[in-house]
Structure 1
Amino acid sequence: MSELTSAKRNPLQTPVDPYQLDPADAVEPPTTFRGRLKYLGPGLVISAAVIGSGELITTTALGAKAGFVLLWLVIISTAIKVWVQMELAQWTILNGKTALEGFSQVGTKVRGVGWINMLWILMDFAKVLQRGGIIGGTVAALSIMAPVIGEPLGQPSLIFWTVVTVALVITLLSTSKYGIVERFSLVAVVLFTVITVGLALALPLTDFAYTGADLASGLSLAIPAGTIGFAVAMFGITGVGADEMTTYTYWCLEKGYARWTGPDDGSENRARRAEGWIRVMRTDVLVSWIVSTLCTLSFYIIGAAILHPQGLVPEGNEMITTLSRMYTDTMGGWAMWAFLIGAVAVLGSTFVASSASVPRLWTNTLGLLGVIDWKDLKSRQRTIRVLTIVFPIIWAISFLLIQSPVIMVQIGGIASGIFLIAVVIAVWRLRATEVAPRFKRNRVFTIALVLSSFAIAALGIYSTLKVFGVGIGGE
């Protein structure tokens, strides 16, 4: 028997409706690590989504401001949250539901949604600023490369490239197909990972070389005065944040993990298939975590080694110019073009991933509120297409009005930190009520989930106090 078998359909065939489970779509999962690699994809989309804003902007700015001393936080921030991500995705595979549907089951419902859904809506309004910052970084890089109208960072040039960028992304995503998002993310992730990690590894050969002692100083678990705000934003935004955890469930469904598992008929065969596809999902998360960690560490080390000694911290529309110093100061003026191309790939991939995911989440929310019928394929697709046009325009306008990408991204990061604690509560509730004991018996995963939950709760408490102006530790 081949490694993958299907009753009626090709397992890689695009389904009529990716959010409906059909017994005919159930297939046997791969049994080897190599086989599982063939079915990766959702994690690449998540990597493309998180690396642009967190890694390039916030993490580099933190390295520029704090030096190597917060290197330890980079490692923790990318590793600690994946366990909650995996638990939520496991629930999705077992139940065939989206995260927002799960959130609506926690607490009392009002018009079809729960308190966590309402908190998500509030968080997403705050994320408008962050997504505007992503567009701003992309547009600034394009404007420097080709000013077109006036000065490189002048208003006319920025407006021109904002219109062009938004139009291109809307056109790319006009079909709303998952496969397009995955393929674009794969190319972008490979490109910016190679460029970023390569530069970080090459720094010891330049005038901005770092030593083993520098790296060791970054593992001391210290947080210097004046960097706590940056640190909280970085913890909330690097690696997988609350919105990425939520979005990941949609990509798992559209990839097919739940559909290939099949509806729960109580049989041993179905439980065994579920275990197999959950292993595929965990492999997908592992690969995504490795990519995210490598890029995050690289950006932080580059900021700490090059920008920090010169007192350069990325701010405002000059962010791209400041960040480009990481390249030009080590490799010469020609490297400006290499950096700008890389910046467009990094930030542009985040813009594309957000433009693909947010309309799906809002469409699902409108379905829960009874505004549209989420289960009706045509209604769902039509709403997603409309929102794919509307949201990028709103984000672009927010950038043109505020024009401070670093601050905008940090605001979104703090909002994500607050929402993380709500996601943890939902995960434990759904785990207790809709996950069979068979899928909770791995003690290593359970212990990791507990530790992850405590860390995220601490971040959420701190972020909430920060919003209300309560200082901690002499802030």
Structure 2
Amino acid sequence: MKTVETAQRAREPEVDDPYRLDPADVQEAPTSLRGTLRRLGPGMILSAAVVGSGELITTTALGAQAGFALLWLVIISALVKVWVQIELARWTILTGRTALAGYAQVGPRIGRVGAINWLWILMDFAKMLQRGGIIGGTAAAFSILFPIGGEALGTTSLTVWTVIVVVSAVALMYSGRYGLVERAAFIAVVLFTLITVGLALSLPGSGFSYSGSDLLGGLSFAIPAGSLGFAVAMFGITGVGADEMTTYTYWCLEKGYARWTGPDDGTEERARRAEGWIRVMRIDALIAWGVCTVCTLSFYIIGAAILHPQDLVPKGNEMITTLSRLYTDTLGEWSHYFFLVGAIAVLYSTLIGSTASVPRLWTNTLGLLGVIDWNDPRVRRRTVRALTVALPPLWGASYLWIQSPVLMVQIGGIAGGIFLVAVVIAAWTLRYQDVPHRFRRSRKLTTALVLSSVAIGALGVYSILEVLGLGIGG
């Protein structure tokens, strides 16, 4: 028996633990363009998961309701968040710790963790509705293509497809092949995005044309009456949201940025190595930001140019069929099916990203609360797998209960917008607690972070006032 246990323990080190810093794992950061590109990945994988829920559903619906008037908010929404994301990721590379672990050391403390951790827990329950909306959108697209047991959007067909979508996502993530799935999802999102960008650029030559004056009018920094709910949700959900900023630190750890930097031994060699990997991370994040911005603008412009003039605003389970008008009205009836396949690829890739990341976040939270030992890779893996099986069915059940993907995504977006304020507070606190001066002396980056924080704070406070019924104007 002892021999069997010894053999099992001998096999454990073969399983890489990306959350452990070992001097034997250190590597110098690449300096060439080719070498740097080979080390990119976390940001693009995150973007592949992000592009879909907010861009396809909320941003397009916002364009349909507000026209071009909120184009400025689309740009700011994507621009301001990336600097907070970079700040958190830099802290992670320097300390080798996850964002949730960082939030736990930001006061006020409530029990074993900080108030921001409890706020994350509350936010994630709201985000459960958003993930249910993603599942619902995917199930609706499948149901329209291949209805089961009756009408395409009937209860039977939607229920069966919801179960199929949830079970398949759990199976893919539980099997450990999520790396392959995420790469496949990334390719699908890129292809669909390229088509969407091409469609947005081709609209001036179609029956749904827009002009330069339309685009300039959308940069007037105004919020039309009746569009506030969509605007707040879009700000919280498009681009890199608060939960994606948090998740990005886990992907940076699993990619190896912190391990390759190594534990902090106080040497100049380690400091230079950290600067190199932080530079790689920054490029990774900025490229991902560029992709998100282009995608978001494309979806918004298409909604504003095609759906808004026809007064078509995506609602309920008809969200997918309404959005398919984006394509049928410009490319013909055949594109209806083309859109559905693309929508499935986009939304399903988002679901895969959530199924991969959320169990990690909850596992880390349970570790911080003392329920499990996060530092034991065996316990961590078992817990992640158990949550991978348990959480997606809850998301799917929330959709079957509410059956309104747009509303569900909006609720998650508003919760994410409020949580953004807490993330900004955490980023600044950790910056001055744990980041040495040499890593925060860039005035340009500091200025970008300040502007980002002010914008997020203003929108966050505005969101809270609206939720409390204390709005300061429509």
TM-score range (shorter-chain normalised) is: over 0.9
Which residues of 2 match residues 320-335 of structure 1 at below 5 A?
320-335=320-335
Structure 2 stretches of 5 or more lacking a match? 1-12
Which residue of structure 2 aligns with residue 348 of structure 1? 348
1:175 & 1:103 partners in 2: Cα distance?
31
1:469 & 1:70 partners in 2: Cα distance?
22
1:37 is displaced (CA, Å) by 1.2
8 Å CA contact 2:182–2:349 kept in 1: the answer is no
Which residue of structure 1 aligns with residue 169 of structure 2? 169
Which residue of structure 2 aligns with residue 232 of structure 1? 232
1:211 is displaced (CA, Å) by 1.4
After superposition, the Cα gap between the structure-2 partners of 1:119 and 1:223, relative to the gap in structure 1 and judged at 3 Å, is same
Which residue of structure 2 aligns with residue 40 of structure 1? 40
Q: Between Structure 1 and Structure 2, how many residues are aligned?
A: 462
Which residue of structure 2 aligns with residue 7 of structure 1? none
Q: Determine whether 1:338 maps to 2:338.
A: yes
Which residue of structure 1 aligns with residue 372 of structure 2? 372
1:109 is displaced (CA, Å) by 3.2
1:180 is displaced (CA, Å) by 3.4
1:333 & 1:254 partners in 2: Cα distance?
44
Between the aligned residues of both structures, percent identity stands at: 69
Which residue of structure 2 aligns with residue 4 of structure 1? none
1:178 & 1:27 partners in 2: Cα distance?
26
After superposition, the Cα gap between the structure-2 partners of 1:184 and 1:14, relative to the gap in structure 1 and judged at 3 Å, is farther
Which residue of structure 2 aligns with residue 267 of structure 1? 267
Which residue of structure 2 aligns with residue 8 of structure 1? none
Which residue of structure 1 aligns with residue 425 of structure 2? 425
2:471 & 2:302 partners in 1: Cα distance?
30
Which residue of structure 1 aligns with residue 291 of structure 2? 291
1:175 is displaced (CA, Å) by 3.6
8 Å CA contact 1:176–1:381 kept in 2: the answer is no
Scaled by the length of structure 2, what TM-score is found? 0.95
Which residues of 2 match residues 381-400 of structure 1 at below 5 A?
381-400=381-400
After superposition, the Cα gap between the structure-2 partners of 1:411 and 1:443, relative to the gap in structure 1 and judged at 3 Å, is same
1:185 is displaced (CA, Å) by 3.9
Amino acid paired to 1:23: P
Q: Determine whether 1:124 maps to 2:124.
A: yes
Moved more, 139-148 or 200-209: 200-209
1:221 is displaced (CA, Å) by 1.5
Q: Deviations over 1:21-67 (max 9, x none)?
A: 11111001110233211111111222123221110000000100011
Q: Deviations over 1:57-110 (max 9, x none)?
A: 000001000111111111110001100000000000000000000000001433
Amino acid paired to 2:296: T
1:137 is displaced (CA, Å) by 0.6
Amino acid paired to 2:435: V
Which residues of 2 match residues 12-91 of structure 1 at below 5 A?
16-91=16-91
Instruction: Report the RMSD for the aligned CA atoms in angstroms.
Output: 1.4
1:380 & 1:181 partners in 2: Cα distance?
21
Which residue of structure 1 aligns with residue 443 of structure 2? 443
8 Å CA contact 2:109–2:115 kept in 1: the answer is yes
1:261 is displaced (CA, Å) by 0.6
Amino acid paired to 1:406: V
Structure 1 stretches of 5 or more lacking a match? 1-12
8 Å CA contact 2:185–2:345 kept in 1: the answer is no
2:443 & 2:374 partners in 1: Cα distance?
37
Q: Deviations over 1:1-34 (max 9, x none)?
A: xxxxxxxxxxxx9962110011111001110233
Give the secondary-structure state (helix, strand or coil) at the position aligned to 2:379: helix
1:182 & 1:311 partners in 2: Cα distance?
36
8 Å CA contact 1:204–1:211 kept in 2: the answer is yes
1:403 is displaced (CA, Å) by 0.3
8 Å CA contact 2:126–2:412 kept in 1: the answer is yes
1:128 & 1:186 partners in 2: Cα distance?
23
8 Å CA contact 2:192–2:342 kept in 1: the answer is yes
Moved more, 71-80 or 108-117: 108-117
8 Å CA contact 1:48–1:185 kept in 2: the answer is yes
8 Å CA contact 1:181–1:353 kept in 2: the answer is no
After superposition, the Cα gap between the structure-2 partners of 1:216 and 1:133, relative to the gap in structure 1 and judged at 3 Å, is same
After superposition, the Cα gap between the structure-2 partners of 1:177 and 1:447, relative to the gap in structure 1 and judged at 3 Å, is farther
Give the secondary-structure state (helix, strand or coil) at the position aligned to 1:80: helix
1:192 is displaced (CA, Å) by 2.1
